[in-house]
Chain A
Amino acid sequence: MVNHPIPSQVISRLKKGKASPTAIGGSLVTPFTIVLAVLIGISLFFMAQRFIYGLGAVTNINNGYPWGIWVVWDVVIATGFACGGYAMALVCYILNRGEYHHLVRPALTASLFGYSLGGASVLIDLGRYWNFWHILWPGYAQPGSVMFEVAACISCYILVLWIEFSPAFLEHFGFKNLKAKLNKVMFFFIGLGVLLPTMHQSSLGSLLVVFGYQIHPLWQTPLLPLLFLLTAVCMGFAIVIVEATWAAVGFKRDIHDELPMLSKIGKIIMGILVAYLVIRLGDLVVRGAIFKVFTSGVKSVMFLIEMAVFIYPIVVLSSPANRKRLSKLLAAAMSMLTGAILYRIDAFLVAYDTGPGWHYFPSVPEMMVTIGVIAIEVLAYIIFVRKFPILPGHSTPAAAE
């Protein structure tokens, strides 16, 4: 006769050797969240200026560089950062590698905020934002436009992300039946949730094809969609490593159980990066642009830096011993992310040249708005993992009792 029934959670843990996601609890007001709130306040001030006086009052964009960091960082790079959910859904559900299962929900959370905010921050950048709905409205929508494809896919994907994520809410609010029904058809949304990022992440590269000669030959190629897609998937895997590390440090969680998964992800990153570099350099050779690698001034320097930060993670991750060490995995992932960020900044801004006399570097208020958007994202992530069952529950002090 046992004194107490063994809690079902413990049984499940013993049986499955894995843990349930748990809200980690804890206070929402910390020095870090206060800093985030201040940053958000500053960015709201500049956003107000932008809406009262126009884009020129806050940004340095001009008719030679009509797209600044509010496009390149807030949308092109931020949605790449938000590819964690995409990458994990791909291995976990499409390739049916269930062992990655408990990395899915944290990754999905980051994707949810990354994409939702990326989508919302477009409104700050659109000059005539009150017409934004035209892009999806029959009669206005222009399917030949790459921008239409990007907008339509990102909008649908944000919707799909919320549906994919809704079990976490339903669980929280106790709608078990609804959740069960949703889970029965979830496979469809998972399929859609892999297709849509594949489409729009590649299209973010296709956006540049119509720019023609205005993009330097080291970046302008018909393979832009493939290169953007590969780096986006890779960013997704890298961000999972970074998030797991930060969550471990920030919430003082033991990451030991997740390390074997992270080390496998490291191997995937290495594979994709090798493919990416072979395709990218092969394309340069085929187009004869490889000779411009050393002869294009600043553009050459940026290209070579890009190559260095892409090659470094390949070298690090090629050693199995390194893949077992979190510090090495993290360094490789950070380097990969730096490469992917540089690739996007270079392709959209450094390689972009509309003629002499035009310059662009983001203004401080412009950067503060972008930093504010990032702060909103980080704060939302913190609130969510504290209040909702997102992170794997094992060895979390708050979930232990």
Chain B
Amino acid sequence: MTITRRNFLATAAAGGTAAAAACATLAPAGAEARESHKVPDNAVGLLYDATLCIGCKACMSACKEANDLPLEDTIGEKLWDTPLELSGKTYNVIKVYQSGTMENKDKAENGFAHIKRSCLHCADPSCVSACPVSAMQKRATDGVVTYNKDACIGCRYCVAACPFGVPQFQYDTPKPEIAKCQLCKHRMEQGKYAACAESCPTGATIFGSYAALSAEIDRRRAMKPGEPNLFPRRTPESGDMHEKAAPEYVDYVYGQKDAGGTQVRYLSGVAFDKLALPMGLPERAYAADSETLQHTLYGGMILPVVALAGLVTAAWRGSKDHHDDDEFDMFDHPEGGHK
């Protein structure tokens, strides 16, 4: 086994050249950081105004019916649908924040407030970026984040990746699916819209174009607290209005920018971290971070190909050196170990 210093240095030099070339390729590729995707032009979404929600759960019932979901029994009575959180059987759940005497609606102290949990339909969804088989997709037309069980392999990367804890896996069946709100895409095909918005008696949840909902959000935030105002039911344009004193909103529209922005947005009188929504998320989508990293390393497969060339050259030089001194056999010794 004679490895001369010259041979070794030559191989090391070849490897070093490959590495340098790799770094040179890496530098420009790294400059093209992927930006967060924006909300599509014709996006649709929901606006949930916690101050209008009375916790009747009509939306939950309508969601189960529209999506043909089974009841979930968490209290052992087997009479009511009683989900406590999103689950493999529940796409939409109304939860309640409680404090002290619970005298005041939509107040943090001695008050209570409702919150609707369902898919936020991110502008740049982590689940879509994570999914290795395109089962999670963001529709280019209206931005609905869809799920295709026929493509899904059940790896649960989407469940783990979602910053809002939305996609839910079914652990209790040998043929599991990911359970997640798809904004009633099947009803949209029939000219209808999200069942939760359609069934909401107070207009706490309304369905509409992203632009119309943005205008409605601006209108509500400009209202003077305590003064009577009109609020639409079902959709911003339904004309079905009811009058109510304007609430005192916290100065934050949840979903406007969080994790790159979402098409489902929230208004509330209570701080959102009390409503179990994660606060302090960056404005840049996590999907953009992840894909920038992947693109930097694997964009156009340039870096791997350059590295492969370097490695194969080094391995080839090694094998050539050894053949020259007639001692090298890659894995085997000429006489063989087998008797």
Contact = CB atoms under 8 A, between A and B. Distances in A.
Interface stretch (B96-104, B204-212, B233-241, B280-288): B280-288
Task: Please provide the 9 A-B residue pairs with the shortest distance between their CB atoms, ordered closest to farther.
Answer: A127-B154, A56-B171, A389-B337, A191-B312, A128-B154, A191-B311, A210-B290, A212-B286, A66-B156
B142 interface: no
B79 interface: no
Contacts of B313: 191
A14 B215 CA distance: 88
A148 B289 contact: no
Interface stretch (A57-65, A236-244, A246-254, A301-309): A57-65
A271 B159 CA distance: 38
A209 B293 contact: yes
Contact of B331 (A17, A105, A135, A212): A105
Interface in B297-325: 297-298, 304, 307-308, 311-319, 321-322
Interface of A is mostly: helix
Contact of B278 (A59, A64, A213): A213
B151 A96 contact: no
A54 B174 contact: yes
Interface of A: 8-9, 12, 16-18, 20-23, 51-57, 59, 61-64, 66-67, 93-99, 101, 104-105, 125-129, 131-132, 134-135, 139-149, 151, 164-165, 167-168, 171-172, 174, 179, 183, 186-188, 190-192, 194-195, 198-199, 202, 206-207, 209-214, 222, 225, 352, 354-355, 389, 393, 399
A128 B152 contact: yes
Contacts of A209: 286, 289-290, 293
A167 B291 CA distance: 39
A199 B311 CA distance: 13
Contacts of B1: 16-18, 98-99, 101
29 contacts: A20-B337, A21-B333, A55-B176, A66-B159, A67-B156, A93-B314, A93-B330, A96-B7, A96-B8, A98-B318, A128-B154, A131-B154, A142-B132, A144-B291, A145-B157, A147-B157, A148-B132, A171-B332, A183-B329, A187-B315, A188-B312, A195-B311, A198-B307, A199-B298, A210-B287, A210-B290, A214-B160, A389-B338, A399-B337
A199 B335 CA distance: 36
B163 A94 contact: no
A214 B163 contact: yes
A20 B153 contact: no
B76 interface: no
B20 interface: no
A237 B131 CA distance: 33
Contact of B327 (A16, A55, A143, A147): A16
Given A55-B171, A93-B318, A134-B133, A206 B307 contact: no
A8 B337 contact: no
B328 interface: yes
B134 A142 contact: yes
B40 interface: no
A21 B287 contact: no
Contacts of B280: 213
Given A57-B172, A187-B312, 4 more contacts: A18-B1, A96-B7, A98-B322, A195-B304
A54 to B, nearest CB: 5
Contacts of B314: 93-96, 191
A192 to B, nearest CB: 7
Interface of B: 1, 3, 7-8, 11-12, 15, 86-88, 126, 129-134, 149-157, 159-161, 163, 165, 168-177, 259, 276, 278, 280-282, 286-287, 289-291, 293-294, 297-298, 304, 307-308, 311-319, 321-322, 327-339
Contact of A54 (B133, B163, B173): B173
Contact of B175 (A66, A128, A183, A214): A128
Contacts of A134: 133, 151, 153
Given A191-B312, A206-B290, A64 B171 contact: no
A355 B328 CA distance: 58
Nearest to A122: B155
Contacts of B151: 131, 134, 140
Contact of B153 (A59, A127, A139, A207): A127
A225 B12 CA distance: 24
B329 A149 contact: no
B86 to A, nearest CB: 7
Given A134-B153, A195-B311, A212 B281 contact: yes
B159 A210 contact: no
Nearest to B154: A127
Contacts of A225: 293, 297
A166 B160 CA distance: 38
Contacts of A399: 337
B273 to A, nearest CB: 11
A206 B3 contact: no
Contacts of B318: 93-94, 96, 98, 187
A85 to B, nearest CB: 11
Contacts of A222: 289, 293
B212 to A, nearest CB: 30
A51 B308 CA distance: 40
B286 A211 contact: yes
A206 to B, nearest CB: 6
